[in-house]
Amino acid sequence: MKKIINDPKRVVDESVAGFGLAHADLVRVETDPIHVVRGDAPVAGKVGLVSGGGSGHEPLHAGFVGPGMLDAAVPGAVFTSPTPDPILAATKAVDGGKGVLHIVKNYTGDVLNFETAADLAAADGIEVRAVVTNDDVAVKDSLYTAGRRGVGGTVLVEKIAGAAAERGDSLEQVAEVAERVNANVRSMGMALTPCTVPHAGEPSFTLAEDEVEIGIGIHGEPGRERIKLEPADAIVDRLLEPIVEDLPFSSGDRVLLFVNGMGGTPQIELYIAYRRAAESLAEQGIRVERSLVGNYITSLEMQGFSITLLKLDDDMLELWDAPVHTAALRWGR
Amino acid sequence: MGLDITWAVDWVRRGAETLAEHRVELITLDREIGDGDHGENMDRGFQAVLPKLDDLPAGSAPSDVLKLVATTLISTVGGAAGPLYGTAFLKGSMAVAGESSLDAAGVAAMLEAARDGIVSRGKAESGDKTMVDAWTPAVDAARSAADGGASAAETLRAAADAAATGAAATEPLVARKGRASYLGERSAGHRDPGAQSTVYLLEAAAVAAANGTSA
């Protein structure tokens, strides 16, 4: 293992401390228990948005804290969901009197810990709703699994629900738009290499030089299928086909196309993938109205990428375009 | 002869020791079918319990120790293991609340409540390739040992042995819960890390009881 760290046990604490120093204009970092909140939280009369999960997916989630997106992020240990205490602390810190929405990726640990925190917050008189994102089409039959994972679609849910909260929507309305985005978004990813969790010290799985994993999640967990490396266009087609079939997306649909890097893939390759995805969607009559390309929900230094497609309506489009000012997403102000 | 507070404290100390010792093994088991944090998380949680044992008020019961473990695991472990083991210790504590000494029936009741807590929190069933596959045989063995007139220590020994058999039996299973479920058929051939950590905890309980640290 070769990493720029001091002590494997201090990785999250030191990284979050650095994030706080670098973005002191946007956030404040609380250390006991650890959570990151918007600098001006709580914002009176605004629904608070809290997300979180294991660390190692940066910029998700702390990178999306700020006006127009999240009010707080709760980083757990690397690839491990946070415990209820910091989730509860973050929930209290952002409660502006209109309730709090938890945005939770569908992983067993995240769901259990957020549920516990929501129960505790309710006992303190804070109204909490939760939306569990589950956009990963690689997981097919939820009867025999823990259900579809929340992956790239989570970023879009956070942006759009964040804009709804910022414009003054009620908790019910913000939860509704978050659910609507989740219901209309699908993703699938692939990996060229595994990643190494600092405290584990060894790669999460092994791949031969000419092998790739199709259908990975965001924790270095292996995917469902291992194949020989193919040209970029073939890989994009392999990811895009099940996404388009799943919703299904069809001719005339307006979409947001999001090509996400897993952390170790350069932009030059992400744009090659974007090119083919956009071309394929155009051939199918699906209109790409908005796009996002870059490393937004990552898996440490894993090489690979995911494709996320969101079917847009007018409201979602307006909320996507609304101003956002966070460390990792910023436009319109 | 019942199991008192001395046993409960000894259980936790031995549990922490054995989890630290098997930390890398549990990480490796978890890396094969999950995300590789189970050993790290369990070690962190039990190490956090240790200093708190010294602050237990005089006259505490085994249930107080179990509750202390529960709250500490919930607030330090995270992942799925924190809420699941936290719930197990909490329900186990509630089942024997205030009893200064546990007999065989008390041990069986404690284990059964712990298992039921895990099942209701995690919604897993036997055969899903989870820690339930170690807990359920352990509970069944404890129940029949207690009903057959075994001592409390013998009841824990029966539970620990059955958990070990149950954990080994997770190897050929295809996971249906937790992160391993995403592997589908590829999860077969690996032992479930949660079932294995259950073995270490129940083994520690049995050894603590056998070592005569009970009153």
pLDDT at A167 over 60: yes
All residues of chain B having their beta carbon less than 8 Å from the beta carbon of residue A83 are 74-78, 82
How many Å apart are CA A148 and CA A133, to the nearest integer?
Answer: 8
Residues A182-198, mean pLDDT to the nearest whole number: 94
How many Å apart are CA A225 and CA A213, to the nearest integer?
Answer: 6
DSSP letter assigned to residue B3 = B
DSSP letter assigned to residue A211 = E
User: What is the model's pLDDT at position B215?
Assistant: 42
Residues B23-45, mean pLDDT to the nearest whole number: 91
Q: Measured between CB atoms, which of A77, A204, A221 is closest to B182?
A: A221
Chain B contact for A220, CB < 8 A?
yes
**CA distance readout (Å), B82 to A12, A118, B37, B70:** 18, 16, 12, 9
Residues A173-187, mean pLDDT to the nearest whole number: 98
How many Å apart are CA B199 and CA A122, to the nearest integer?
Answer: 36
User: What is the model's pLDDT at position A83?
Assistant: 94
Query: Counting Cβ atoms within 10 Å, is residue A254 exposed (0-12), middle (13-18) or buried (19+)?
Result: middle
Q: Are A199 and B37 in contact (CB under 8 A)?
A: yes
All residues of chain B having their beta carbon less than 8 Å from the beta carbon of residue A76 are 78-79
How many Å apart are CA A308 and CA A153, to the nearest integer?
Answer: 6
Q: Position A9: which residue type?
A: K
Query: Counting Cβ atoms within 10 Å, is residue B29 exposed (0-12), middle (13-18) or buried (19+)?
Result: buried
CB pairs under 8 A between A and B: 109
pLDDT at A139 over 90: no
pLDDT at B213 over 50: no
- Could A139 and B78 be called an inter-chain contact, meaning their C-beta atoms sit closer than 8 Å? no
pLDDT at B111 over 90: yes
pLDDT interval class at A26 (50, 70, 90): very high
Average model confidence (pLDDT) across chain A: 94
pLDDT at A220 over 70: no
- Could A116 and B74 be called an inter-chain contact, meaning their C-beta atoms sit closer than 8 Å? yes
Token readout for B15 is 């549990």
pLDDT at B124 over 50: yes
Token readout for B72 is 């500490």
Average model confidence (pLDDT) across chain B: 94
Residues B148-161 pLDDT 10s? 999 999 999 999 99
How many Å apart are CA A69 and CA A330, to the nearest integer?
Answer: 10
User: What is the model's pLDDT at position B49?
Assistant: 97
- Could B182 and A82 be called an inter-chain contact, meaning their C-beta atoms sit closer than 8 Å? no
Residues B58-87 pLDDT 10s? 999 999 999 999 999 999 998 899 999 999
Which of B37, B38, B120 should we substitute to test contact with A (largest number of A Cβ atoms within 10 Å)? B37
Q: Measured between CB atoms, which of B27, B40, B182 is closest to A145?
A: B182
Higher pLDDT, A204 or B163: B163
Distance from CA of A249 to the nearest CA of B (A): 24
- Could A144 and B37 be called an inter-chain contact, meaning their C-beta atoms sit closer than 8 Å? no
Give the predicted TM-score (pTM) of the model: 0.87
pLDDT at A223 over 70: no
Q: Are A72 and A40 in contact (CB under 8 A)?
A: no
Residues A62-102 pLDDT 10s? 999 999 999 999 999 999 899 999 999 999 999 999 999 99
Residues B133-162, mean pLDDT to the nearest whole number: 98
Sheet holding A48-55, edge to edge: A27-31, A34-38, A72-78, A48-55, A100-105, A128-133
Q: Are A324 and A331 in contact (CB under 8 A)?
A: yes
How many Å apart are CA A183 and CA B36, to the nearest integer?
Answer: 30
pLDDT interval class at A206 (50, 70, 90): confident
ipTM of the complex: 0.73
pLDDT interval class at B35 (50, 70, 90): confident
Active site residue A35: no
